[in-house]
Amino acid sequence: MNERTDQPSTVLLRRGEVHSPADPFATAMVVEHGQVAWVGSEGAADAFADGVDETVDLDGALVTPAFTDAHVHATATGLALTGLDLSGAPSLADALALVREFAAARPHDRVLLGHGWDASRWPGGRPPGRAELDAATGGRPLYLSRIDVHSAVVTTALLDLVPSLGATGDGPLTRDAHHAVRSAALGAVTEAQRTEAQRAALAHAASLGIGSLHECGGPGISSEDDFTGLLRLAAAEPGPRVTGYWAEQDVDKARELGAAGAAGDLFVDGALGSHTACLHQPYADAGHTGTAYLDADAVAAHVVACTEAGLQAGFHAIGDAAVTAVVEGVRAAADKLGTARVRAGRHRVEHAEMLTPESIAAFADLGLTASVQPAFDALWGGADGMYAQRLGAERAGALNPFAALLRAGVPLALGSDSPVTPLDPWGTVRAAAFHRTPGHRISVRAAFAAHTRGGWRAAGRDDAGVLVPGAPADYAVWRTGALVVQAPDDRVARWSTDPRSGTPGLPDLTPGHDLPVCLRTVVGGRTVFVRPSE
């Protein structure tokens, strides 16, 4: 993670609630030289009052570690924030109307960019056709990615920019055709537009109490210039820290680009919504098993190369066949290098949705981190959701087994895969705690830890993501309701609920309750967001 070299002033925060295992009843905290220097009681804070440069009266607000979103596409997130967002379109007709309005409002864009359509949620279930999009844009180039970003619909004018494609049919483009049109569309984005989008994404993250992002770039996802530009921007300007992962089977390239690993969205398969996740058994609504991009031998070779180079390896794997390929490949690497050496590499699996008890046990044995997105279940889970349409109720009900992963000792890091689902840290914690399948639910405390300290650990840091002396002063201040210690509940994986245990309280995230509002975000002791009028 990029580190700040200039250190801010010494600050005393007091008269609030500080979420710290160092003192579960702490109401005050001292930050010095970009690190947490002390946490404790209001009475003890008086001893520091005369020796600090600034005192912040929290007025009862909650202070927590800043969140880490462990899977983000920053430029695409920024373009979604500044571009056409179809995630709220309730029907095909509404989506086409939004396309028409967007095209009319941006007459000078070389390529129109949009994201977020999901035909599985529309009456009739049909995506936009090419002729409809040609009419809505007046014949201009348009790229509209599906919500899972593994397929897209485009206009004829955009296809004309990729003459090597040939005939593509009228439906959504997937696999190589999708990669080609996405590259053409993003290639039309100017450097200034890209930087503007990245700034927008980082500022939005900071406004939500997110202090760190894991950028998942790679060929066909973004570009080398996009990736290195984001890392430079994050290092040069106040905002969330950015850890970069480059999804290419080229260790030297990942190191050259400044990546923490040749990892992230290194695709072993695609996505369930686009019928490209790789399954052992065919889809319930399609007569095939999806798409395999890497096999176990390729996985093994990559893990060996990364481990020997001292870099993290990682893979995008959603379907059960893809997860099997990852497990078999990492196991083969461990047989060659030794399990202890592979475990020490802290290699990652992104998404890891279709897991069996055997694959979960293998994750634990091999030291694999599961980088997961609970909002996927909130959006697509349930008896009538997209997962059930694609897989049938039985297989869909087994997806995203967070509780089983924790019980097995698999490290969890939570993220959004933004712009697939929005940056929304407390909503992500709620989605994990109130999983649509009750047996997969985890406690709010466990989900909160996975979305704060878990992200740092996934990037190889064990000394951060928690407010204790010596840790980086990455924290957020929240306006929230009364704090609670979670009561016993058969629906969730349990943890100590006896108030005498000294467990720090957390906001009540029961659905229907308001989520906390971020008042201030601080990274390395430096304020990177203050809520207006606060």
Per-residue pLDDT of the chain (534 residues; tens, 9 = 90+): 444 445 568 999 999 999 999 998 999 999 999 999 999 999 999 999 999 999 999 999 999 999 999 999 999 899 888 889 898 899 999 999 999 999 999 898 888 998 889 998 899 999 999 999 999 999 999 999 888 877 899 999 999 888 887 667 788 888 888 888 888 888 888 888 899 999 999 999 999 999 999 999 999 788 999 999 999 999 999 999 999 999 999 999 999 999 999 999 999 999 999 899 999 999 999 999 999 999 999 999 999 999 999 999 999 999 999 999 999 999 999 999 999 999 999 999 999 999 999 999 999 999 999 999 999 999 999 999 999 999 999 999 999 999 999 999 999 999 999 999 999 999 999 999 999 999 999 999 999 999 999 999 999 999 999 999 999 999 999 999 989 876 545 444 444 444 444 678 999 999 999 999 999 999 999 999 999 985
pLDDT at 502: 61
Tell me the β-bridge partners of 369.
348
pLDDT at 493: 46
Q: What's the sign of the alpha-carbon dihedral 460, 415, 504, 17?
A: positive
pLDDT at 178: 86
Tell me the β-bridge partners of 526.
523
500 exposure class (CB count in 10 Å sphere: 0-12, 13-18, 19+): exposed
CA atoms of 15 and 377, how far apart (whole Å): 38
CB 114 within 8 Å of CB 152:
no
Q: How many CA atoms lie within 13 A of 239 on its CB side?
A: 20
pLDDT at 2: 46
pLDDT at 492: 45
CA atoms of 146 and 127, how far apart (whole Å): 9
160 exposure class (CB count in 10 Å sphere: 0-12, 13-18, 19+): exposed
131 exposure class (CB count in 10 Å sphere: 0-12, 13-18, 19+): exposed
CB 308 within 8 Å of CB 337:
yes
Fill in the amino acid letter for 287. Answer: G
Structure tokens at 242: 């950015």
CA 24 to chain centre: 29
* DSSP 8-state class, residue 96: H
Look up the pTM and report it.
Answer: 0.89
Residue pointed to by tokens 């002729």: 131
Structure tokens at 80: 């979604």
